[in-house]
Amino acid sequence: MGEEDKGFVIKDRRRFSEDAPASEEAAPRTDPEPEAETRKARTDAEPKAGERQPPLPEVNFSTFVFSLATSALLHLGDLADPMTGQTSVNLPLAKQTIDILGMLEAKTRGNLDDEETNLLSNLLYELRMKFVAAGKK
Cβ contact 13:22 at 8 Å:
yes
pLDDT on residue 9: 80
Percent of the chain, pLDDT > 90?
Answer: 50
- Per-residue pLDDT tens digits for 69-122: 999 999 999 999 888 989 999 999 999 999 999 999 999 999 999 999 999 999
pTM beyond cutoff 0.75 = no
The least confident of 47-51, 53-57, 72-76, 112-116 is 47-51
pLDDT on residue 48: 66
Pick the more confident residue, 102 or 57.
102
pLDDT at 40 over 70: no
Cβ contact 42:83 at 8 Å:
no
d(CA 136, CA 55): 39
d(CA 119, CA 98): 14
d(CA 68, CA 98): 8
